[in-house]
Amino acid sequence: MKVQSIEDLKAVKEEYLPLIKQRLGHRNGLGSTQVMVCSGTACTSAASQDLRNGLQLEIERHGLKENVKVFKTGCFGFCQNGPIVMVHPGEVFYCNVKPEDAKEIVETHLMGGQVVERLLYRNVDNQVAQRMEDIHFFQAQTRIVLHNCGVINPEEIGEYIARDGYMALAEVIQKNNPREVIEAIKRSGLRGRGGAGFPTGRKWEMAAAQDVRPKYVLCNADEGDPGAFMDRSILEGDPHSVIEAMAVAGYCIGASQGYIYVRAEYPIAVKRLEIAIEQAREKGLLGKNLFGSSFDFDLGLRFGAGAFVCGEETALIHSVMGQRGEPRPRPPYPAQEGLWGKPTLINNVETYANIPAILRNGWEWYQGQGTAGSKGSKVFSLAGKINNTGLIEVPMGTTLRTIIFDIGGGIPGGKKFKAVQTGGPSGGCIPEKYLDMPIDYESLKEIGSMMGSGGMIVMNEDNCMVDIARFYLEFTQDESCGRCTPCRVGTKRLLETLKRITEGNGEIEDLELLEELSFDIRDASLCGLGQTAPNPVISTMRYFKDEYLAHIKDKNCPAGVCKELLNFVVDEEKCAACGICAKDCAAGAITGKPGEAYRIDPDKCSRCAACAAKCPKKAITRGPRKEEIINGNQGIRPGTVSPENRAAL
């Protein structure tokens, strides 16, 4: 049945509303039970597919098919504790559910009416949290972009409509007021969520002002930042929000064709999009004469093929055209000359996902959240050394401390926080002293990082910052398109210098070289990839200079990561000559006899640290290489060796 008017839309909403209401906690006497199973990539890999099938099987076996329905739903963002299953009514939140648990859930909960306590989440104070609202992780969030994730079945357009989906599009078309819509978006203060933070409303205005036809609307779903999976979750959990927003954008700027450029590494997101687009077309929400007007709009999918640089606007445009994804200088901007030389509006997935909410709730509402310069909320992905890895959405201006220690649950294993990397390979490492800084676009830039797409990687005392810088440079060097000199050759030289330092061959002059070259690459590069590639180097040198100095002067890696700078030494006093270490050594680097302290040959040692782990006396420790060079002792802690043994070496 095609939707031709707002009334038609409301009719669909009425149809699906009861399901949604129950999931939101309304006791509406639906008469049936709903079981939601998280079907994002992470949970799917952890067998949520099998889990769903298992539940379905058990439900049928127990004859509950009539009253119990199992639905897929989008990513809750609670990835450390997945797969997630929610049962409505009651908003019961089960985590770490395995396929084997399906039987118990059906029998104990669905049939017996008893919540399965062992599958419930326990808060930090070991209190059981039965409902999602009781869980602090979710309490502390402001889910605007993610408000449908975990609530609706992304493969059912009716559920999206039941949550007022496509209402914004309908009103925009009905009121025929593209200029007002653009004005509203400008006033809301929404800024591009892909990383650069360009004011979205201004971009739409620029594209709308062009007098050339045809125009195009592009969605950048290339989310290449390692550690970032916000866009993926939105596409897997609420694809229609992006589709609706793109249709609105098309209407406002005068385009009737849009493309979503998805990276190939997101097969589930691709599938969800394909289903969503198909369903939208069936309902007449994509295609010709939307809502009975003369406005046509349709969407196509284009796929990336493994190039991080294609997340850059102009490179993306080239890739959509089937060419090498090489950026080009701007001006002219894509809004003026983009796809096939025509005006092209290109925004990030998360940016689009904000649009329907802004239009439904009003720009004043959106503008009331966040900081002076950065309005609204932001989705962050928490990863690395943090207890609650996953996805969160908080208002701009939330402090890092809140995000990491409160919502994120702090550092596991009692380790100490060292730094948090924001913005992926384009961002910088932020040390402890800035934990109380409210996050927004400007504040992050000031301290040498950037918002980026929202990835946050937490690091602890066991991470070496020089190694991290090297890691990021390796990434950008591999992904550089090769067009401009500073990025192609400059990042290579930068990486070679960092490698030298991590291998113990750094010189003090290298620090100046790193700094100068970093600034030159930043200033001279053609596109954002090269311009931000040196950020990890610049920020780690700014805040962790001591680590660099340790690598260069002392030939030591304080965090114990850089293999070439480590030496595992046997503390002669503690060594019991049991020989366990030698047996376990895969490299055959340890030799010794009963009665004598065992010795590690640093040339053969592969620094795997297995010996240190196995030693019952904890006699094997890490030491810097320089010590050994000075004292000429091989593998034995200096000052503890008796003359006889020393002679035997």
52-111 residues near other proteins, rule: CB under 8 A: 79-80, 82
Minimum distance from CB of 228 to other proteins (Å)?
7
Among 11, 24, 128, 264, binds other proteins (CB under 8 A): 264
Helix (H) or strand (E) holding 337: none
Minimum distance from CB of 6 to other proteins (Å)?
33
Among 149, 168, 481, 570, binds other proteins (CB under 8 A): 481
- Under rule CB under 8 A, which residues in 384-423 are in contact with other proteins? 384-385, 389-391, 421
Give the C-alpha separation, 381 to 393, whole Å.
9
Question: Rule CB under 8 A: is residue 463 a binding residue for other proteins?
Answer: yes
Give the C-alpha separation, 607 to 39, whole Å.
40
Among 129, 430, 517, 612, binds other proteins (CB under 8 A): 517
Q: Using the rule CB under 8 A, give the single segment among 191-199, 208-216, 314-322, 402-410 that binds other proteins.
A: 314-322
For residues 153 and 388, which CB has a smaller minimum distance to other proteins in the complex?
A: 388
Among 166, 266, 434, 598, binds other proteins (CB under 8 A): 266
Are the beta carbons of 216 and 249 closer than 8 angstroms?
Answer: no
Among 321, 508, 648, 649, binds other proteins (CB under 8 A): 321
For residues 225 and 440, which CB has a smaller minimum distance to other proteins in the complex?
A: 225
- Residues 6 or more apart from 24 whose CB is under 8 A from it? 151
Question: Rule CB under 8 A: is residue 128 a binding residue for other proteins?
Answer: no
Question: Rule CB under 8 A: is residue 267 a binding residue for other proteins?
Answer: yes
Among 227, 250, 376, 623, binds other proteins (CB under 8 A): 227
Question: Rule CB under 8 A: is residue 112 a binding residue for other proteins?
Answer: no
For residues 45 and 114, which CB has a smaller minimum distance to other proteins in the complex?
A: 45
Distances (CA, A) of 505 to 243, 497, 501, 540: 53, 9, 5, 19
- Name the CA dihedral angle for 63, 105, 391, 307, rounded to a multiple of 10 degrees: -60
Minimum distance from CB of 480 to other proteins (Å)?
4
Minimum distance from CB of 165 to other proteins (Å)?
24
Minimum distance from CB of 575 to other proteins (Å)?
26
> DSSP state, 428?
E
Minimum distance from CB of 263 to other proteins (Å)?
8
Minimum distance from CB of 544 to other proteins (Å)?
15
- Residues 6 or more apart from 44 whose CB is under 8 A from it? 268
Question: Rule CB under 8 A: is residue 544 a binding residue for other proteins?
Answer: no
Give the C-alpha separation, 268 to 227, whole Å.
18
Minimum distance from CB of 13 to other proteins (Å)?
31
Q: Strand, helix or coil at 405?
A: helix
- Under rule CB under 8 A, which residues in 362-391 are in contact with other proteins? 381, 383-385, 389-391
Among 225, 238, 244, 572, binds other proteins (CB under 8 A): 225
> DSSP state, 308?
G
For residues 19 and 310, which CB has a smaller minimum distance to other proteins in the complex?
A: 310
- Under rule CB under 8 A, which residues in 289-308 are in contact with other proteins? 300, 302-308
Give me 131's structure tokens.
């409902």
x/- string (CB under 8 A) for other proteins, residues 337-356?
---x----------------
| DSSP secondary structure string for all residues of 432-483 | GGGTTSBP-HHHHHHTT---TTSEEEEEETTS-HHHHHHHHHHHHHHH--S-
Are the beta carbons of 164 and 148 closer than 8 angstroms?
Answer: no
Minimum distance from CB of 86 to other proteins (Å)?
18
Among 60, 100, 180, 478, binds other proteins (CB under 8 A): 478
Distances (CA, A) of 507 to 312, 466, 468, 518, 556: 35, 14, 19, 17, 13
For residues 331 and 595, which CB has a smaller minimum distance to other proteins in the complex?
A: 331
Query: How many helices (H) and strands (E) are present in the chain, helices listed first?
Result: 28, 19
Q: Strand, helix or coil at 315?
A: helix
Minimum distance from CB of 576 to other proteins (Å)?
28
Minimum distance from CB of 358 to other proteins (Å)?
26
- Under rule CB under 8 A, which residues in 605-634 are in contact with other proteins? none
- Under rule CB under 8 A, which residues in 20-59 are in contact with other proteins? 41-42, 44-46
# residues contacting other proteins (CB under 8 A): 82
Give the C-alpha separation, 268 to 375, whole Å.
31
What's phi and psi for 138, nearest 5 deg?
-90, -30
Q: Using the rule CB under 8 A, give the single segment among 58-66, 107-115, 476-484, 630-638 that binds other proteins.
A: 476-484
- Under rule CB under 8 A, which residues in 152-181 are in contact with other proteins? none
Q: Using the rule CB under 8 A, give the single segment among 130-138, 281-289, 455-463, 540-548 that binds other proteins.
A: 455-463
Minimum distance from CB of 538 to other proteins (Å)?
16
Minimum distance from CB of 76 to other proteins (Å)?
10
Minimum distance from CB of 124 to other proteins (Å)?
19
Among 94, 204, 229, 297, binds other proteins (CB under 8 A): 229
Alpha helices in 62-162 (DSSP H): 102-104, 136-139, 157-162
**425 prior amide bond cis, ω within 30:** no
For residues 148 and 426, which CB has a smaller minimum distance to other proteins in the complex?
A: 426
Question: Rule CB under 8 A: is residue 334 a binding residue for other proteins?
Answer: no
Minimum distance from CB of 14 to other proteins (Å)?
36
Question: Rule CB under 8 A: is residue 326 a binding residue for other proteins?
Answer: yes
Give the C-alpha separation, 534 to 537, whole Å.
5
Give 499-505's long-range contacts (Cβ < 8 A, gap of 24+): 499/470, 501/466, 501/470, 501/548, 501/551, 501/552, 502/464, 502/466, 502/467, 502/470, 502/551, 502/557, 502/562, 502/564, 502/565, 503/562, 503/564, 503/565, 504/551, 504/555, 504/562, 504/564, 504/565, 504/625
**Which residue's entry shows tokens 């593209």?**
178
- Residues 6 or more apart from 466 whose CB is under 8 A from it? 498, 501, 502, 540, 544, 547, 548, 551, 557, 562
449 dihedral zone (left: phi>0; alpha: psi -120 to 50; beta): beta
